[in-house]
Amino acid sequence: MTNLTEGPQPGTPAQGTVKWHFPAIHKEGQRFGAISAAIAGLLALFVSHSLGWIMLGITIWVFAFFRDPVRAVPQDDRAIIAPADGLITLIQQVLPPPELAGPDRLGDQPLTRVSIFMSVFDVHINRSPIAGTVKDVVYVSGKFINADLDKASEDNERQHILVERGDGVRIGFTQIAGLVARRIVPFVKRGDIIAAGQRVGLIRFGSRVDVYLPAGTAPKVMLGTHAVAGETVLAMLGDDTAVGGVLQ
């Protein structure tokens, strides 16, 4: 794990030094990596050294895909943290999906939805945007169209997670499978108490995560921003001032 030589005091910046290390490989990926490595060995021994080398490259990619790096999670009760690594591709005003709508969920009025597209090169461990209690986890079967398309939120295989803070603030977010993704793996269930930035699941091989911001809260990220799960602040609760910028 990453170690700080001095422990920070609450509310103060971390002090000391941090050493880089190879990220851990999540247990979900160890089996896939082992199978890929075995195939590489068999190809090299019985078929072709060239094919073995190609498969070895694929094996390295498989292990990299399931990497699970340590993240420095902002400790601010107002912060809504990115649940996924990837590119901010859509920021829209939309009605919450039926699975997250209703008076005891996200309501029935349009909310700002921030969509994060994960390529096959991004970390695919998803994290909670806030601390609270998991009020619901709803899985919906569906298609596997390009997760970068707007209609993927309604058509694709997906899993909705609703988290409620102690003060009643609720955040809903949706894991969406894509062209290559074929399984959403949950790490949490209804009733679990989780911390901001805690690992809540993964989506195998490319996908997208949608986050629904509460009313009166504007995003602090722009289209084209590359979010880092557990670190990037998407928005500050109650702050309705949006940021602007240009791609260059």
How many Cα atoms occupy the beta-carbon half-sphere of 207 within 13 Å?
Answer: 30
DSSP 156: B
| Residue 221 · residue 116 · CB < 8 Å | no
- Give the pLDDT of residue 6: 41
Domain boundaries, the chain: 24-68, 79-236
Q: Which residues have CB under 8 Å from 87's CB, separation 6+?
A: 116, 117, 119, 224, 225, 226, 227
| Residue pair 118/206 in contact by the 8 Å Cβ criterion | yes
Q: What per-residue confidence (pLDDT) applies to 62?
A: 81
Q: Going by CATH, does the domain composed of 79-236 fall within 2.60.120.20?
A: no
Catalytic residue ranges: 207
Residues 6+ apart with CB under 8 A from 6: 15, 16
pLDDT score of 100 more than 90: yes
Which of 4-18, 32-46, 57-71, 224-238 tops mean pLDDT? 224-238
d(CA 157, CA 152): 8
Q: Compute the Cα dihedral for 101, 107, 109, 115 and give only its sign.
A: negative
Q: Is the pLDDT of residue 48 over 80?
A: yes
Q: Answer whether 81's CB lies under 8 Å from 126's CB.
A: no
Six-digit token string for 151: 């209609």
63 sits in which H/E element: helix 49-65
Cα–Cα distances (Å) from 7 to 69, 74, 75, 203, in that order, read 20, 15, 14, 33
pLDDT in tens, 27-37: 777 787 888 88
Average pLDDT, the chain: 85
